[in-house]
Amino acid sequence: YRRQRQMCIRDRASMSGIPAANRNIIGGERIKSSVHNGPIVIKSGDLPPVPGQIVSGTPTSSRPRVAGVVGGRSNDRERGGFRSRDGQRGGYQGGYQGGQRQGWQGGQQTGGFRRFNGNGQQGGFNRAGGQNGPIGGRPTYNRPGGRPGMGGAPASGSGMDLNQKTAARKGVGRRKEGGDYRSRRDQEVDFQYQQKKKEESKLAAVPKSIDIMENITVSDLAKKMNLKASDIISKLFKMGMMVTINQQIDHETAEIIANEFGCEVHLVSLYDETVIEDEADREEDMVPRAPIVTIMGHVDHGKTKLLDAIRSSDVAGGEFGGITQHIGAYKVNVPGRGDVVFLDTPGHAAFSMMRARGAQVTDIVVLVVAANDGVMPQTREAIDHARAANVPIIVAINKCDLADANPERVMQQLSDIGLVPEEWGGQTLYCRISALKKEGIDDLLDTILLQAEMLELKANPKCRAVGKILESRIDQGRGTVATVIVQKGTLHQGDYYVAGIYPGRVRAMFDDKGQRIQSAGPSTPVEIIGLSDIPSAGDPFQVTEDEKQARMVGAKRQELERLGNSASANKITLENLYDKIKEGEIKDFNVIIKGDVQGSVEALQGTLQKLSTDEIRLNVIRASAGAIIESDITLAAASNALVIGFNVRPTPRAQALAEQEKVEIRKYNIIYDVVDDIKAAMEGMLSPEIREIDCGKAEVREVFRVPKVGLVAGAYILEGKVTRSCYVRVVRDSIQINKDNIRIASLKRFKDDAKEVTAGYECGIGLEDFQDIQKGDTLEFVQMQEVARKLEFDV
């Protein structure tokens, strides 16, 4: 500071061109300069003069004040004398900067030490010579000299403390003009505000609710929520889960993540996730359609006989076309009343899924109950399916011609369930029939049509077709064939569609009579050819706009199903973790199921999988419709599986390969036989149960030591008998002292070997690898018997 002051005084004296005696400055007056011709008036706040000019100041004391020379030792274009390295104007510039221009400033700037605080106010040191700044500090002392910026005290609340002034004078903490002072707290507040705005904009883009399946990948969840995958991953990371963008999470985890963003999650099925928008139905396009009726009931209650009787009445009306058993749907014309579509469902317990699907696509359920049997288990199940589908029920009491028929008892049993007859004040329609004698069939048809009129069934035939898959199979020579019931719209040959998860095109179409047709309207059962694979019975069937949409929807559904299956297979819970630990103790029984139609295959598969027990696990490694082929035999040989053919036969090549690979093929046409044989085979895999059968008891009365033999017990047989094949338990003081049963090494009567010794006789008994025998011990004799074990099945 001292050295800079001396240099400033020296430069002012040399560059001003005015003797020191003549350098008295009178504020605001014209003065002469030896350098410039003419007086110059400089006011504070004006632009700085060129080098060499004198800056006039305002005297603040009685003694003249020497104004600072802005010129002096000028460098380049700068107007300052001692120009600071980061300033633009003269004087001592820099020092402590908190606002825009601070430090020791000369020239036009009004302040010496001047400070802009956070909101732009000036304060601090104000120069004594010259004009005060806009908000100057209070001058505390005036001193002559050419150094600008000496004087002034910090303004109240906006100046610097002593340490800051000292640092400023030493040039410590000099900052650039653009680096205005802002506290860290202000920066943090700004940062938090910006982050909050980002979060609010992100949340604004998140929908209020989304639909997801049981499992979803992180990337798909992010797309549904209009977020980046990194946002989802970071949330999961905070929850302690390390996931990747393509990793799956279950719907519960996805729901937690969505709730963090204020989004509600709805669980949907595979087909809801890939829904195809239907065309809007207009009231003028709606026309009456035929009712779809499903026949349900317990096995052997006469459903098939009833269908035969209805078909015969159709023949009498001249509309005979026949029905193949595997179609399960056909149309009957009632003279003068219209058409009725019937769906057939099996009555066996294994076909519960088929009955449920039948109830979902039907308009009316005809419940067949035998008058001599009454309400049975499958009768109650059929009622539950109909009620779940909200379908009206018509009760047909069959076998009323039998001597032990009791229709009143049947009506009472059904009334207890909730099906009260109309004649008893209820709302359920009852018909008494005899399918065998074809009595009451017309009344039943009239009742069905009356119920249909009350339902006012209508459909739009002008839109794209929508329906359900009733059955699917592989037909020799025609490939994959599916039976479809059209629920709305009209199906045309050549239409592109999606059946379940498989796309296809209608290459050919046949009605229930086997005749080829070009189109099918609402309530029409048809067989279609042209499927890429076998869909499951009950899958939705829907026509698409074009081939591209069909392929896209089918591919998406297949991918979602694959992901769902893999997630279900890999999902670990405490229960299946315990099962995996016990896997070494469980035996596997592998089977391959081939059937004539997909519905029968599903029913058989579901029934057999219920046969698994804690000791034997039944695995269905393949289940499909079609004949038994070579690939089935190859898979069976590799997995040591049994091949079950239900109403199908192996091809000649498959039969030869099975004989070569020693693979067993069992053929059935009744599901009862399949279940019974599989049960017997599973029981045969069990290890037999070992039971102990008591044979006798003896008392040790003496112990003899025989050389090279060891101890021999002289025993008296108290009860039963002892043989050489018996095992021995040694009991002393009512406690068995041997852990394992001991075999008899020798059995003698006197000196002769004996095969058995009965009660009341004495004998000598030598035990195998056991010498701890004492007088008074009791010997219990048992025999081990293997007993075949039985399994407890729920089916």
Q: Are 66 and 148 in contact (CB under 8 A)?
A: no
Which helix (H) or strand (E) covers residue 655, if one does? helix 652-661
**So what's the pLDDT on residue 592?**
92
Q: Are 135 and 155 in contact (CB under 8 A)?
A: yes
Q: 689-787 has which CATH code? A: 2.40.30.10
Angle separating helix axes 598-609 and 352-361, nearest 10 degrees: 130
Amino acid code (one letter) for 165: K
Map tokens 């605080």 to a residue: 117
**So what's the pLDDT on residue 638?**
84
C-alpha angle with apex 493: 487 to 498, nearest 5 degrees? Answer: 55
Q: Are 162 and 198 in contact (CB under 8 A)?
A: no
pLDDT by residue (tens digit) across 117-158? Answer: 434 344 444 443 334 434 433 443 344 433 444 433 443 433
Could you give the CA distance from residue 273 to residue 596 in angstroms, rounded to a whole number? 31
Could you give the CA distance from residue 481 to residue 490 in angstroms, rounded to a whole number? 19
Could you give the CA distance from residue 655 to residue 650 in angstroms, rounded to a whole number? 6
**So what's the pLDDT on residue 304?**
76
- In the three-class reduction of DSSP (H, G, I as helix; E, B as strand; rest coil), residue 14 is classed as helix
Whether domain 290-456 has CATH 3.40.50.300: yes
Map tokens 């004198």 to a residue: 54
Give me the residues paired with residue 783 across strands: 693
Distances in Å between the Cα of 501 and the Cα atoms of 139, 273, 487, 489 are: 91, 12, 19, 21
> For the chain, what's the residue count?
795
For the chain, give every domain's residue range. Answer: 1-181, 196-268, 290-456, 466-563, 574-685, 689-787
Instruction: Provide the 10 A C-beta neighbour count for residue 447.
Output: 19
Amino acid code (one letter) for 274: T
**So what's the pLDDT on residue 492?**
92
290-456 and 574-685 share one fold = yes
Q: Are 329 and 521 in contact (CB under 8 A)?
A: no
Q: 466-563 has which CATH code? A: 2.40.30.10
pLDDT by residue (tens digit) across 283-296? Answer: 888 888 889 888 88
Those residues of the chain that have pLDDT short of 70 are 1-182, 193, 195-204, 269-275, 277-279, 312-328, 345-360, 563-585, 791-795
Map tokens 């949330």 to a residue: 235
Which helix (H) or strand (E) covers residue 756, if one does? strand 756-758
- Taking alpha carbons only, the member of 392, 407, 397 closest to residue 456 is 392
**So what's the pLDDT on residue 496?**
92
Could you give the CA distance from residue 580 to residue 401 in angstroms, rounded to a whole number? 57
**So what's the pLDDT on residue 199?**
63
Could you give the CA distance from residue 310 to residue 312 in angstroms, rounded to a whole number? 5
Fold assignment, 574-685: Rossmann fold (3.40.50)
Q: Are 721 and 747 in contact (CB under 8 A)?
A: no
